Amino acid sequence: MSFLDRKSAQWSWDESTQNVMIEDNARYRLWAFIMIGVFSGVNMIRPLIDYVPSAMAVIITGIGVIAFLLSFLLFITNSVAREIKLETIEKAVYRKSSQGRSVNLKLSVIKYRQLAFDTDAQLADFTDFLRSKGIQVEEAGGKFTVPLNY
């Protein structure tokens, strides 16, 4: 069993503050990307310190820059907030597949929050709640990936 396995999101609604409370392990999943960012930063500096043939230096630095930029993009666009104000949720896109069930919430602060569920009933319960609060909920298409531009 991997430490990156998704824990099913447990959510609750706080009527007084109009917040959706989320309990999952999204914060722990960021450690893998932090490690990628650190190691790619080291790989960008290594050709400057050690003597490395120029072709190898270009490859190492190129891979390091790409990994660093992707990690930075992840930190900018993803949210691991445990409390989300209802008015900041603009849209929700859900996906059911053989690998799992997930909902991506598009927040008004240019961030996304992904929730994973173990059963169809949990997913239906959460999407029904969002619809009851007037939030647009869509099912993802067949080739759905990270929601960077919806």
Q: Does the pLDDT at position 1 exceed 60?
A: no
Where is mean pLDDT largest: 18-22, 63-67, 68-72, 127-131? Answer: 127-131
What is the percentage of the chain residues whose pLDDT exceeds 90?
Answer: 9
At 28 the three-state DSSP class reads: helix
Q: Which amino acid is at 150?
A: Y
pLDDT-derived band at 142 (thresholds 50, 70, 90) equals low
- pTM of the shown model: 0.68
Sequence-separated contacts (24+) of 130-139 with Cβ below 8 Å: 130/89, 130/92, 133/86, 135/86, 135/89, 135/90, 135/91, 135/92, 136/90, 136/91, 136/92, 137/91, 137/92, 137/93, 137/94, 138/91, 138/92, 138/93, 138/94, 139/93, 139/94, 139/95, 139/96
Fold of 10-24+82-139: PH-domain like (2.30.29)
- 3-state secondary structure labels for all residues of 29-52: HHHHHHHHHHHHHHHHHHHHHCCC
